[in-house]
Structure 1
Amino acid sequence: MFIAHLRDVPADAQLCHMRAILLDRLDRLNTFVEICREALSSDNMQVDSGEDEEWEDDPWADGTQPTPASSRATSPIPLSEFLTIGLLDLARFFASLGLHSAVDFLLRRHGPSLWPYRLFILESFPEQLPPSEYYDLLPRFDAALGVEEVPSFIPWRIENDWTEKDVFRALLASSEVPVLLEAPRDSVLSEPHPSPLSEDALSNWYRTRIRHTITTTGVLDNSLSLIQYAASQGLQGLDEIAEDLLLLSRMVYDVPHPDAEALSSEWTLEWWKSLSPAEAINQFLSHATRDTIAMLVQKVVNPYLFVLEAREERRGRPDPTIPTRLLYDYILRAPLDIVAGIFEASKPTLPPSHRLLRNDEDMARLALACLYGSDSLEDWPTMSQVFECLPAWNVQENDDEGDEADTTIASLAAYVVPSTSQPHVTPSDIYVFFRPLPLTALSRALDFLDVHLESGEIFSRWNVAAPLRWFLQSCNNASEQYAWANRMARRAGGSEDRLESSEDWEWLLEDMVKLSGSGDSGLKGAFCLLNREEILRIFLSGLLSSGQFSIAHNMLYGHKPVLKMDPATVEEISLSVSQEFYDNAPSGNYHFGDMKLAYDCLDVPRASPRTVKEKEFIEATSRLCAYNLVSRPGIPITPIEIRLSKDRLSLVSRVLSSNNDAYKHVQVILELVHKLGFKDDPVAEVKALAMLADTAINVEDFAYAYQTSEMMVKKVQELRATHSAEDSQVLRASEVCWVSCFQLGRHPEFDDMQKKMMMLGRALELTPAETLGDVLAAWSRVEGEDLAQRKEKRRDASDASHPGKRASAGTFVPSSLASRLQQLQIPSIPSSPITHAPDAAALANKALHSVAANLPFGARGRSLFSQPGDRSRSSSRYDGAEVSAQATRVLQKGLGWLLGDENS
């Protein structure tokens, strides 16, 4: 009936509707006035009443004193908008400005309308605004009821007007009467929560708000303040996120960051929760130094470790080893300076509550693992400081425990040796070996460490630093110790700050001897497997290799000799070092560079045949290089190639072949041969003379060839006079000599018949039986040529004394013997070795050009000059004589024909 009335009388419906709207605006006006008086002034915000300043002197105002303009503020929203905007929009607007008191007044005066959207309003507060400023607005938890606490509201009117009741609004809406004035509406509505939230829902809202705050602003203080308030309300399930926020805030604010701009934008709560414990500790200590490591461990790492332990207890898996295990793992991975800082803060002399590491045995195990597992070659002071922080136990060691420690050290020495399966051993791996050791064994192991640290400092002093585990690897390896001692002696003299004074070298010798002995604890040093004599040998070798020969001479033979060594040992070492210089020399000139060092090094020992011979060889090398010999085209020969030459006489042959006039300097070449190591080798001297003669023949200097051959024959005769005919040297020298004489005697360009026959006669004297026929055939041929020359000369002389007879002959007379010989028709005779013999120059080049030893000496049962494949050639002296006789008869017939004998 009432609905029909409203439908029939629209004016009444509109008036009722306007009444409801005006009542709502009256409430809003009162709220606006209250907000302007108290809320905004408490928020330190200026309020604008929406009235013009000209109304300050309103004549219609009552007699009260108006408020001074300076005491009033400017409102962030005009009154007209305040009255026409929805309540939710107003609340969100004030919240976005951080005006928490204004929001509080709205919620108290208009709670029934706004409270279902409380979470939406709270999320409108800026994330950077400290939650402590709007604690009163945050949801509270009623632990007794287990749900959210519903606040009490104070509306302006205790009871709503009948036009404001939901029943009337529903009737008005169903009457479809057009209204003249619209009620305020909100632009955005969120999901309402008219009922109190459960504990889980409330906890989830706090978690979401915290994550959103960290993600959008990164302000950890606000998130931490928010979660602390939630925890104070008794909400469960927020402990872990509160711990994470606290730890994350410690990392951001308590951990030093050298570069503030380098702070990662990825430091979110999700990122932090994704870190493993080891990664989190590394983040905490990533910028730690030796001076700050103790503070950071106490302030941030230990709380984190205690949090991890507490979480495991809450989960029902208590593990009291978590703090020590994780801290030990970090120490085993940390650099040495960080380890030193931790150990300095853990000295046994400190109060237990101030120590980072409180277990003395664990400290010893960690120190042993960190030091032996380190690859550092320079941090010896730091390692010594770590050792000084370790506890000193005064324990009596029994044999079984000492053996256990020695066995562990020996096993560790084998374990740290690199292999294909384990190329590198970490401190964590080494820590496994020391964990089961008892106190006495640990004390013994620390004694080993003390000796090794001292040895390492000595190594570092002489520029041969080795990682500490090397002393474990080499404790039973003599070759490794020898190699490092040799390196130590040589590096000291070859480094940039090489030793130049005798005092420094004596200091080095003292340290090397010290390393070969035993210390006060009875433990052996780094060179324990080397005796004093070996150390002295190594030291002298290093001293000589540095080129400090005067210092070496003074230490060996001075007024107070420091090196008391056997002369034979000194000579052996000097020869060895000299050969090293020689082999490494790029040039053979012994007046500078390594060759000079190789030469001068031989002056350190007393003079002996070995040192003299080596010096002469160096001189010979220098002379060979002066002749510009090459190993390959354009590449000069090096000293090492000369030493490694299998046949050094071939080098002399190369000198003769590359220098046109070298063959004329016989004594120089012979001296070179002597210095090449053939001073007491007559066969080598004969071969050298043969090469000289061969070179002279090649250039057709037969006078020098004959002179050199005579010297060679004389040398062979002297050798035959002092040695047995069957002596190997006599046979080899004779073979070289007769071949050389044979080549000169049968050379077609050598026109001195007397000297040719002399050379062939020397060849007949020295040739073996199987080649006598060849030489005899050559002799017969030269003898025939000599006889022909004599007859020609006699005939020329006779013609000169009877000119008429020569003219009346009327026959053609050849102009010379050579032209007659060209017309000579020799009957066919069996093949002679001479007719098949190659050209003399070519044969000499083949036999004696490069290596005289390549001559076909000692060939028995076959003629020297028989051709390959000639199986009809007899090797007996009878056959050779028969052939020679036949050749002689042929030559006599030819000569008779030349002389005009018709019976010839």
Structure 2
Amino acid sequence: MLLMPSIADTMPSHWATLSDDDLTAENVHKSLDYIKDDLWVAAACVDRVLDDPAVQRVLLDIALERTAAALRRSQATLAAGDDEDNTPERPDALASHFTNLPVDARLCAIRALILDRLDRLNTFVEICKVAPADADDAENTPDEWEDDPWADSAQADAPKTAEAPFTLSVFLTDSLLRSACLLASRQWFSALGIMFERHAAHLWPYRISILDSIPEHVQPLSYRDFLPALNTSTNLEKRTASSPWRTEPDWSETPDVRATLAASGLHLDIPLPILDPLLDRHDEPLSADQLSEWYKTRIRRVISSTGMIDVALAVVQHAAPQSVPGLDEMGEELSLLARLVYDAPQGDDEMDDDWTLDRWSTMDPIAVVRAYLAHSTPETLPKDIWRLVMPYLFVLESRAERAGNPDPTIRTRILYEYILSAPLDAAAAVFEASKPILPTAQRIIQNDEDMARLALACLYGSNSLGEWTTMNRIFECLPAWDITRDDDQEDAADTTIISLGAYVTPSTARPRCTASDLLIFFQPLPLSSLSRALDILDVHLESGEILSRWSVPAPLRWFLQSNSDVPEQRAWANRMARRAGGSEDKLNTLDDWEWLLEDMLKLTGKGDSGLRGAFGLLSQDEVLQIFLSGLLSTGNFSIAKAVIKSPKNKLSLSPEALEDICLSCSRELYDNASSGNYTFGDMKLAYECLDVPPPSDRLTREKEFIEATSRLSSFNVMSARGIPISPLEIRLTKDRLSLVSRVLSSNNDAYKHTEVILDLVDKLGLRNNIVAQVKTLAMLADTALQAEDFSRAYQTSERMVETVQGLRSSYPDIDTPEIQQASEVCWVACYQLGRQPEFDDVDKKLSLLGRALELCPPDKLHDVLVAWRRLENEDIEAREERLSSRHDGRTRKSKTPNTATSLRSRLQDFHMPSPPLLSTPDAAALASRTFRSVTANFPFSVTGRGRQSSLHEQESTRSGSRRREGDELANQATRVFSKGIGWLIGADAEDE
């Protein structure tokens, strides 16, 4: 409140009841003109701050008029004192006046405030005149209402202006700095210019704070008049021109009056006009360095807050004509960065790239080049290099020169590094824009030798397996030199290529040879070596296309690595022959396979340049064999036969080689077969493959082996519990007879099919092997014995004896190992069946034991005779029992001893004393041990636990108890047979 308490108490009630909105010029005069108290009226006018400029001006004019008398009195008093003392104006006199007349002091203070408000009122009026159009209203107005026919034409033509960011009352009472910053933030630059023009004394010290209030996204062209500039004559900031409303201050506004009022000690409710906080105040002009630093700070703020590189660049471009130093390099950086942001091709996610000047400054040159060309297509790449990359490289070169470190290779070095790391299609575009037929100034790569080196490095450093068309495009762009090389130069070039093959081979130190590494290798090569390398590249490209055509592509560096590697070339040839027929586009016609053969032969030959192809280390015969193997592995046997019999005769192989290949392929198919049945699958292919060449004994034997394998599979022979035996296991079984024993042990009725089993043995590769036949018959007999099929066991034994006797009669020397082994197997088998207690036919048993006596070695005669003698005694006892049953008791008693005696007496001549080694009361046990020693030469393992048990029972059995034990022995035999003939293959009897 600006009024004295006494004045407030006497204020007219009608003035207090008038609201600010009700005040008009008329009622203001009516209310205040009749009041004689100047202080009260002036204070009342100052106390009212309105938003209506006209009414506010009336109030200020009345207040100014009421303070005029006090101003004159104060000036007169001071002037009178000065005249009396003949001294200048003295603050002491003025202070005495204000002390004696405090009303004048208050009126002088009010006058200074009123004058300031009048200036602000004038400024506000000017601001409203230059208010910009209402952008928000224009945006919210639909386009279709612009031509509204019912709208008032005058109203439609009148532009709508935006409302000021503050009201008059706020503008009159608030700080000028705050109002200026608000205008700057709202981009009312014309209004801001009026404020700077009319109130420069108050605003110029705070110009930096006002500029910082301008949003960073605003184009500097809009506020260029406010940006600081440099005076080159003083090397300081230029001052802004001003035109205040009053050129001379009022007496009440002089510093002496203000100081006197402040020192008078009077309590003033009226605040001094301008009391802005000391916020970033700069009363003096800025130096050149300060100006430069402010511009750099402004540029960084623009980029970091908005990312608008063009705005930041415009700031620099404005500062340049203003002579602000130290911005040239930043201008270069912003210009280059602007090219990246606005001129370079952008991807779908360009909004995700947050480009700042700090990020840009930390990027190395090659990263900048890659960023420029990140979204360029092969079609636009050459143009983008010229308009984006080349200017950047020129700037780098210029900077190096300005820094005193000139580097003439910086452009080519960075450009070459990009080409080496670019995709092949992008590199091809660069090479096409660098063809030697183009003018040098239009070529991206201007040096022919560099072009050749780059191409070699790019192609041999690529991992691509399918871009052969692109690679050929690159090759077609390369220069061709007509160079005549002597032998030494060619040898040197070939040595270089061999070294290159070792160079590109991965190692622990360098797992992968990059294109940049290869460029280092090619860099020192002379022109002759480069020309030779291009010739080799031509051959490798042709070979690569051929391999890719047949689904076995290889990276180009493989041709260098395999240049001297025969196994690698052979492996790739095998892959080509096999994968071509097994690919998705499987070859089904004779023409396709002949085309494949033609390409494979082409890879073994030499081209016009005398250089070898991808299979140059392989002979044609070897390639033919590889081709035929691949063809046979696909199962196209009809095509294979057609190729072999083709009139073109490209597959010229000897009968032996053809047979070897077919056998090898058949065995490969056999080994890969999951089932042994030769009516389907790989086993069927293995069988049919043997029909491709003309018949021969080897092929017949192999076919029989496949048939045997199929038969073994039909018997359900297992390699483990629940797992059928595989064909590969059958082939890898060294003892083929063990397979027969598995058949007999796993099939209850297999022993009944003697001819089938013998045929199986023949087809397993044991045809004409008498020993194997004898062993097979022995196993059949023993299996029949286990099944208690004594009749079949005897028949098989008789056949075995006949076979052995035929063998012994056909050889003059019966001491050969084969005859001895067959004889030994035979007599042991006869011996075992002949002493079997469950076998009731004594005559057949005696016959078998007689065969055993005939074939056994001398040291075993005693054991066989003991068994024969026991069997004969049992037979005699049985006969005695039968004879006694036919006669009376006495007759039987008189005849039986005589008969028995006569029989025993006849056998005394055959009695042989037991040798010391065999002197034991247990003849059956000795016989069992003899059988085990003999069957050590069987192709299968023999255990005698079951036999020993039977022999022991036989030893302890007499004729009267034999039938009593029959059931137990039958049960035991059944259990043994259900397990299989484990004694033949080494099974443990204790598993029972």
Give the 3 Å change call, closer, same or farther, for CA 557–838 of structure 1 in structure 2.
farther
Shift of 1:636: 0.7
Correspondent of 1:231 among 316, 320, 331: 320
- Show the counterpart of 1:112: 201
- Show the counterpart of 1:269: 357
Which shifted more, 558-567 or 660-669? 558-567
Shift of 1:729: 1.5
- Show the counterpart of 2:8: none
The separation in 2 between residues aligned to 1:117 and 1:854, in whole angstroms, is: 113
- Show the counterpart of 1:132: 221
Structure 2 counterpart of 1:735, one-letter code = E
Shift of 1:698: 1.0
- Show the counterpart of 1:359: 447
The separation in 1 between residues aligned to 2:192 and 2:136, in whole angstroms, is: 13
Give the 3 Å change call, closer, same or farther, for CA 41–685 of structure 1 in structure 2.
closer
- Show the counterpart of 2:372: 284
Shift of 1:558: 4.1
SS in 2 for 1:520: coil
Shift of 1:109: 2.2
- Show the counterpart of 1:392: 480
Deviation per CA, 1:784-810: give whole Å up to 9, x if none. 33333333333333x1xx46756999x
Deviation per CA, 1:404-444: give whole Å up to 9, x if none. 32222111111211223322111111111101112221111
SS in 2 for 1:155: coil
Q: Does 1:330 align with 2:330?
A: no
Structure 2 counterpart of 1:292, one-letter code = T
Alignment of 1:334-483 (within 5 A): 334-483=422-571
The separation in 1 between residues aligned to 2:727 and 2:163, in whole angstroms, is: 102
Which shifted more, 524-533 or 346-355? 346-355
Q: Does 1:213 align with 2:302?
A: yes
Which shifted more, 226-235 or 156-165? 156-165
Indicate if the aligned counterparts of 1:89 and 1:186 stay in contact, CA closer than 8 A.
no
- Show the counterpart of 2:120: 28
SS in 1 for 2:668: helix
Alignment of 1:458-537 (within 5 A): 458-537=546-625
- Show the counterpart of 2:662: 574
Give the 3 Å change call, closer, same or farther, for CA 98–850 of structure 1 in structure 2.
farther
The separation in 2 between residues aligned to 1:781 and 1:239, in whole angstroms, is: 128
Correspondent of 1:756 among 845, 849, 865: 845
Q: Calculate the TM-score normalised by the size of structure 2.
A: 0.78
SS in 1 for 2:352: coil
The separation in 1 between residues aligned to 2:780 and 2:760, in whole angstroms, is: 13
Q: Does 1:40 align with 2:128?
A: no
Correspondent of 1:151 among 237, 240, 250: 240
Give the 3 Å change call, closer, same or farther, for CA 459–700 of structure 1 in structure 2.
same
Structure 1 counterpart of 2:316, one-letter code = I
- Show the counterpart of 2:175: 86
Give the 3 Å change call, closer, same or farther, for CA 398–267 of structure 1 in structure 2.
same
Computed over aligned residues only, the root mean square deviation of the Cα atoms, in angstroms, reads 3.1
The separation in 2 between residues aligned to 1:280 and 1:154, in whole angstroms, is: 51
Indicate if the aligned counterparts of 1:42 and 1:101 stay in contact, CA closer than 8 A.
no
Shift of 1:20: 2.2
Shift of 1:752: 1.7
Structure 2 counterpart of 1:3, one-letter code = A
Which shifted more, 464-473 or 17-26? 17-26
The separation in 2 between residues aligned to 1:560 and 1:517, in whole angstroms, is: 19
The separation in 1 between residues aligned to 2:296 and 2:480, in whole angstroms, is: 53
SS in 2 for 1:631: strand
Deviation per CA, 1:113-150: give whole Å up to 9, x if none. 21111111111112221101111111001223222122
SS in 2 for 1:263: helix
Give the 3 Å change call, closer, same or farther, for CA 839–596 of structure 1 in structure 2.
farther
The separation in 1 between residues aligned to 2:203 and 2:445, in whole angstroms, is: 58
- Show the counterpart of 2:29: none
Indicate if the aligned counterparts of 2:601 and 2:623 stay in contact, CA closer than 8 A.
yes
- Show the counterpart of 2:210: 121
Q: Does 1:585 align with 2:676?
A: no
Indicate if the aligned counterparts of 1:691 and 1:849 stay in contact, CA closer than 8 A.
no
Structure 1 counterpart of 2:590, one-letter code = S
Q: Calculate the TM-score normalised by the size of structure 1.
A: 0.86
Alignment of 1:535-574 (within 5 A): 535-574=623-662
Give the 3 Å change call, closer, same or farther, for CA 328–834 of structure 1 in structure 2.
farther
Shift of 1:237: 2.0
Give the 3 Å change call, closer, same or farther, for CA 661–265 of structure 1 in structure 2.
closer
- Show the counterpart of 2:187: 98
Deviation per CA, 1:64-89: give whole Å up to 9, x if none. xxx99958956504333333332222
Q: Does 1:162 align with 2:264?
A: no
The separation in 2 between residues aligned to 1:558 and 1:537, in whole angstroms, is: 16
Indicate if the aligned counterparts of 1:43 and 1:99 stay in contact, CA closer than 8 A.
no
Give the 3 Å change call, closer, same or farther, for CA 228–842 of structure 1 in structure 2.
farther
Correspondent of 1:781 among 857, 870, 877: 870
- Show the counterpart of 2:825: 736
Deviation per CA, 1:278-327: give whole Å up to 9, x if none. 32222222222222222322222222222222232332222222221112
Structure 2 counterpart of 1:4, one-letter code = S
Give the 3 Å change call, closer, same or farther, for CA 558–387 of structure 1 in structure 2.
closer
- Show the counterpart of 1:250: 339
Shift of 1:643: 0.6
Shift of 1:365: 1.0
Which shifted more, 498-507 or 104-113? 104-113
Give the 3 Å change call, closer, same or farther, for CA 8–314 of structure 1 in structure 2.
farther
SS in 2 for 1:452: helix
Indicate if the aligned counterparts of 1:698 and 1:841 stay in contact, CA closer than 8 A.
no
SS in 1 for 2:281: coil
Give the 3 Å change call, closer, same or farther, for CA 74–640 of structure 1 in structure 2.
closer
Deviation per CA, 1:859-884: give whole Å up to 9, x if none. xxxxxx999xxxxxxxxxxxxxxxxx
SS in 2 for 1:249: helix
Shift of 1:257: 2.4
The separation in 1 between residues aligned to 2:894 and 2:847, in whole angstroms, is: 41
The separation in 2 between residues aligned to 1:645 and 1:159, in whole angstroms, is: 125
Give the 3 Å change call, closer, same or farther, for CA 401–156 of structure 1 in structure 2.
farther
Indicate if the aligned counterparts of 1:847 and 1:855 stay in contact, CA closer than 8 A.
no
The separation in 1 between residues aligned to 2:272 and 2:157, in whole angstroms, is: 33
Indicate if the aligned counterparts of 2:485 and 2:528 stay in contact, CA closer than 8 A.
yes
Structure 2 counterpart of 1:284, one-letter code = Y
Indicate if the aligned counterparts of 2:800 and 2:826 stay in contact, CA closer than 8 A.
yes
Correspondent of 1:302 among 369, 372, 390: 390
How many percent identity over aligned positions? Answer: 54
Shift of 1:163: 2.5
- Show the counterpart of 2:290: 201
Shift of 1:506: 0.2
The separation in 2 between residues aligned to 1:305 and 1:850, in whole angstroms, is: 90
Indicate if the aligned counterparts of 1:543 and 1:552 stay in contact, CA closer than 8 A.
yes
Structure 1 counterpart of 2:565, one-letter code = N
Shift of 1:575: 0.4
The separation in 1 between residues aligned to 2:632 and 2:176, in whole angstroms, is: 100
Give the 3 Å change call, closer, same or farther, for CA 253–841 of structure 1 in structure 2.
farther
SS in 2 for 1:232: coil
The separation in 2 between residues aligned to 1:849 and 1:594, in whole angstroms, is: 38
- Show the counterpart of 2:99: 7
Structure 1 counterpart of 2:399, one-letter code = R
Which shifted more, 270-279 or 183-192? 183-192
Deviation per CA, 1:550-597: give whole Å up to 9, x if none. 111111124554312100000000000000010010000000000000
Give the 3 Å change call, closer, same or farther, for CA 707–41 of structure 1 in structure 2.
closer
The separation in 1 between residues aligned to 2:799 and 2:160, in whole angstroms, is: 137
Shift of 1:457: 0.6
SS in 2 for 1:469: helix
